[in-house]
Structure 1
């Protein structure tokens, strides 16, 4: 746990100074690491200002180990051209080791490039503090923009999922409504067929009644004509003069 804590800077591309012991428990004796801790020298005014800017840009790391508090500040050692070349090689190596994606959204690639940018800011700040602060402003603006896009992406994903669920629910409701309407249509078609059959039966019955009524009417008419003819003949026989 100790070695992992003290060597945590090996996982970052940013250069840090050696860890320095801040406080320790009174009952414990000083460890060899404590005796070998690097004691900072009295910095000059320009160096102190540069260190303050570096500490503001990249705050020191602090952790507790066995009751002792350690701190580790960002390195104020100027970088050479070889350091920049080594930084590039380390970046490429870390990208391959951690299997970062070459394109698309990749948290690993983003983390490594962020560390590389922080190291470049550190190197530039040592030579020119104002330039380092300007780069810090650019870094923070890019980070805010990235977080805004990430928030927008997450909200759009949530919105899309919500709309997809709503569409699925709406689809189920529509399918249920279609089934209900189809059942109603089948019931109405059955009712229409029954009414049509009933209408046809009523029409046939009405036709039969009308035919029977016409037949009875014709028979009555013929009987009346026959009676009329008989009465006419009798009347003519009564009225005609006798010979």
Structure 2
């Protein structure tokens, strides 16, 4: 006996929609609503994923004028941080690395690195925007050169991590990203310094005294990102309650 001959066709197995009082227009409406709901769900998933993965300011989606203004404001913020010193033992700590990692996390890796590079160019050109109001190319060739050259790299890495969820939505990952940035700055700066004064002295004077400050600035940076994340979430919560 032929098995295929004993099976009814798909048209015979499925009941006619008209058996349930559905005409062609009703059937088309059901199909349209199904597709619309499916597309809306997929869109929501994509938007939700992007919101959790990209940096808080989402400069990639802004206008050129908005991006330019953000770079200018970011460079001013970096310059201001260079004047802030926190008294600590054995050496005072500036807020430069805090500002560098924060700009990277908020701006994303591309605009973060660009903003930090713009600030360094200002300092090299003679504007008093480096630590303690310093300026000039000589600071990039001296003992602090390694730290300065590390800043765009640090900002890019922290921004790259923030774009992948290491941001205020996950505060421990945000802290880890900030800590990685601070440690990388110390490692690169110490390596540069070691070429001038030797590894032992470089570690003693250019690395160890700044570990505690790096931990504190990493915690402060993570807390700041958490505040940004909370601020962004509140408008969505209010809008959902009003609907």
TM (norm. structure 1) is 0.19
TM-score of the superposition, structure 2-length normalised? 0.19
Which structure shows the bigger proportion of residues in strand conformation?
1
